[in-house]
């Protein structure tokens, strides 16, 4: 530590990238090792995201599915894509942050020269890495049961879907971080998570593709960030009709806005923070 403080600013700026890379690698490696212990739980978490499959069963059987203009094949692909996208956009910052704040673990974290949210980000990435084979297994099982739904997205669409899924994850992560900052004002932010979970279930496209909504409602929902979380990446992945430029613009806009809001809330909040029990 001392040697770093003694370095001249110029040398430091050159090595700051290297330093950042080292920190990132160490964070990811430690969080990966930690998450690896929870393999069974992660598998169960992955399985608990099966709602799109239930909805697929209802949509396929209902005449309302035909009226949508999506045949059974397109419906099956859409809901499988929605399942996969949801697996890689899960965030649980509010739960962990509330626990860390209540248990007093936040205080030592604040003393470190690293924003606590970076640690959470690393743990989310580590969890996704462990989740990957489970998701692949469930997807293969899906194609075994419904072989007619099998498809390989074209490379361009696949890349776009990957980018959209990553941005959707960042968006969800930032929503959670912003709300987690409210922990500085109230000790029970977890109850709020339940409230935000509801629109995520009904408006994100998990339970029904956005095309199924009445037009007026659909236009309203498109002003919220929720369809960006599942519907947009899932449509990209399943090869459905979607406006690519509008989707990415909206994602970028929401991510920037929430990042600024989160930084502001954090600055004000940290000043109020008096450590739990003090």
Partner 1 sequence: MGNPLGRYLLTLRRLWGVALAMQLEYQVNLWLEVAAAVTNLLGSLLLLSLFFGGGRMLGGWSWPQALVVLGVYTLLEGITSTWLRPNLSTIVGHVQQGTLDFVLLKPIDSQFWLSTTRISLMGLPEIATGLGLMVWAAGRAGIRTTPWLLFQTLLMLLTSGLILYSLWFLVATTSIWFVKTWNATEVLRAALSSGRYPISAYPAPVRRLFTMVLPVAFLTTVPAEAILGRLTMPWLLLSLAVAFLCLALSRGFWQFALRFYTSASS
What is the total count of residues that contact partner 1 (CB under 8 A)? 35
Binding mask 166-195 for partner 1 (x = CB under 8 A): ----------------------x--xx-xx
> Residue 67, interface with partner 1 (CB under 8 A)?
yes
> Residue 24, interface with partner 1 (CB under 8 A)?
no
Tell me whether residue 221 or residue 265 sits nearer to partner 1 (CB atom). Answer: 221
C-beta of residue 55 within 8 angstroms of C-beta of residue 208: yes
Which residues, including other chains, have CB under 8 Å from residue 13's CB and lie 6 or more apart?
none
Which two three-digit tokens encode residue 152? 């390989």
> Residue 17, interface with partner 1 (CB under 8 A)?
no
> Residue 201, interface with partner 1 (CB under 8 A)?
yes
Region of 35-43, 78-86, 152-160, 229-237 interacting with partner 1 (CB under 8 A) = 35-43
CA distance readout (Å), 216 to 200, 211, 219, 241: 19, 11, 5, 19
> Residue 41, interface with partner 1 (CB under 8 A)?
yes
> Residue 51, interface with partner 1 (CB under 8 A)?
yes
| Residues 212-241 close enough to bind partner 1 by CB under 8 A | 212-214, 217
Helices (H) and strands (E) in the chain, counts: 15, 0
Output b/e per residue, 95-119; b: 16+ Cβ within 10 A: ebbbebbeeeebbeeeeeeeebbeb
């Amino acid at each position: 530590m001392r040697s770093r403080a003694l370095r001249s600013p110029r040398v430091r700026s050159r090595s700051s990238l290297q330093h950042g890379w080292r920190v990132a690698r160490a964070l990811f490696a430690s969080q990966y090792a930690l998450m690896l212990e929870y393999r069974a739980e992660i598998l169960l978490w992955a399985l608990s995201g099966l709602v799109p499959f239930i909805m697929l069963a209802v949509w396929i059987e209902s005449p309302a599915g035909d009226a949508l203009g999506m045949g059974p094949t397109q419906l099956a692909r859409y809901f499988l894509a929605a399942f996969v996208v949801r697996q890689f956009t899960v965030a649980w910052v509010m739960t962990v942050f509330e626990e860390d704040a209540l248990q007093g673990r936040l205080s030592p974290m604040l003393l470190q020269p690293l924003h606590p949210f970076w640690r959470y980000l690393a743990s989310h990435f580590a969890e996704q890495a462990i989740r990957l084979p489970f998701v692949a297994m469930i997807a293969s099982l899906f194609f075994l049961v419904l072989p007619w739904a099998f498809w390989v997205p074209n490379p361009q669409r696949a890349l776009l879907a990957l980018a959209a899924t990553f941005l959707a994850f960042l968006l969800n992560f930032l929503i959670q971080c912003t709300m987690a900052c409210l922990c500085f004002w109230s000790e029970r932010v977890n109850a709020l998570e339940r409230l935000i979970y509801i629109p995520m279930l009904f408006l994100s496209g998990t339970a029904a593709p956005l095309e199924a909504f009445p037009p007026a409602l659909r236009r309203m929902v498109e002003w919220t960030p929720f369809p960006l979380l599942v519907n947009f990446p899932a449509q990209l992945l399943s090869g459905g009709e979607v406006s690519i430029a509008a989707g990415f613009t909206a994602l970028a806009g929401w991510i920037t806005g929430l990042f600024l809001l989160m930084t502001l809330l954090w600055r004000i909040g940290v000043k109020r923070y008096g450590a739990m029990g003090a």
